Structure 1
């Protein structure tokens, strides 16, 4: 775009931040680019391109790889992830008898993107669209805030809500954990070994299935 004059058009038209964000998305959709290349491509200063790209990474609009190149971010995979999650969560609910959910990070909060509720009258129940703080230390929050953890799953017992427990596993998009698959239920229905021993491998397998969906979207 820099060579065909599009960068000059961006400057001369007095384009705002939103337009620059869209221009960056258009550019990296064609091929991955670092901040300096984005600056040349769009006719922006390097500090401006770097600042915008960094903010977009923070909001999940861009994904930065190990070489410093930017790709389309995981936020754009949310619709595909929610759609793909429904049958996976249904199966996980049927396997465990408990509520299965998928959570994604939204700033310092986590959002319930999809849910398959347990048929039991006593169950963990949070509707789709629920927002909870990442600081609550539930198993899904632990997954979403872990720094490249090698753990297959995290469990929590009576941490966020007394009497409830959960186990969660991360869904990766590239090298980044972008979602957490979670099974939650009453402590009274969990084996003495804990929710991780009872459901951990099933939850981890569900997370791997969703990773395959994102890989080929």
Structure 2
């Protein structure tokens, strides 16, 4: 007989916000967090965190270690597996990242919006020894970088055809990037396709020279995810000249 867990009392939106705040305190690279770290990251008081941790432990989201620290538990992994299986982005995205890196020599990434940040969900590194060092799962601010701008671009702004966005020095003074938003079947922004590299190598001129390759891969990815290319929406069947890149 399967033992069912008791249904939690409904205490309103504020309680749910606190629970999510605690879970969101865990970052890439964390093995476990103590109460002091959780207080610093969440702004909640110790007694509130301890009370929330009891519920999270009951439902398998965290484990309390012998030294009093907390680590994420198996339920988080289960939900991640459900998410990945349902969305199945990897099989669509990763082969196209490899294609971009093979054809341009630069690092190709796929970013998604994560609250006030952008999360690097998939990445294929450049074969060059001089490259940007960033791992899958790391987050960057929603600043003026091309990837962030792409994630902020609704389909309504792109329906007449969108050129690759380009930035240099926005997040890192030595880095440059070009990006395009990837849209889904409901014209929602699923993520951003990003090509990045040292600013001295991924110059505006080089971005223009690889513009057609980049656009072709971005539009192919959008179609594979059930979206409609912005150029299909406009009825365009050819690409503008590379000089039009932003």
Per the TM superposition, whether the score is higher than 0.5 is yes
Separation of aligned partners in 2, 1:169 and 1:215: 16
Are 2:110 and 2:194, in contact at CA under 8 Å, matched by a contact in 1? yes
Separation of aligned partners in 1, 2:193 and 2:173: 21
The residue that corresponds to 2:200 in the other structure is 188
The alignment of Structure 1 onto Structure 2 pairs a total of residues equal to 146
Separation of aligned partners in 2, 1:132 and 1:155: 17
How far 1:204 moved relative to its partner? 2.1
How far 1:177 moved relative to its partner? 1.7
The residue that corresponds to 1:152 in the other structure is 163
Q: Which is richer in helix?
A: 1
The residue that corresponds to 1:175 in the other structure is 187
Counterpart check, 1:120 vs 2:128: yes
1:90/1:78 CA distance change after superposition, 3 Å: farther
- Structure 1: gaps spanning 5 or more residues: 1-12, 18-74
TM-score norm. by structure 1 comes to 0.59
Q: Deviations over 1:57-108 (max 9, x none)?
A: xxxxxxxxxxxxxxxxxx7788422232111100100100010000011121
Instruction: Give the root-mean-square deviation of aligned CA atoms.
Output: 2.7
Are 1:80 and 1:214, in contact at CA under 8 Å, matched by a contact in 2? no
1:113/1:163 CA distance change after superposition, 3 Å: same
Which of the two has higher C-alpha Rg? 2
Separation of aligned partners in 2, 1:180 and 1:120: 23
- Secondary structure, counterpart of 1:114 in structure 2: strand
Q: Deviations over 1:131-172 (max 9, x none)?
A: 1121x2110000001243322321101221112111001110
- Structure 2: gaps spanning 5 or more residues: 1-6, 13-82, 228-246
Give runs of aligned pairs for residues 4-19 of structure 1, distance below 5 A. Answer: none
TM-score norm. by structure 2 comes to 0.53
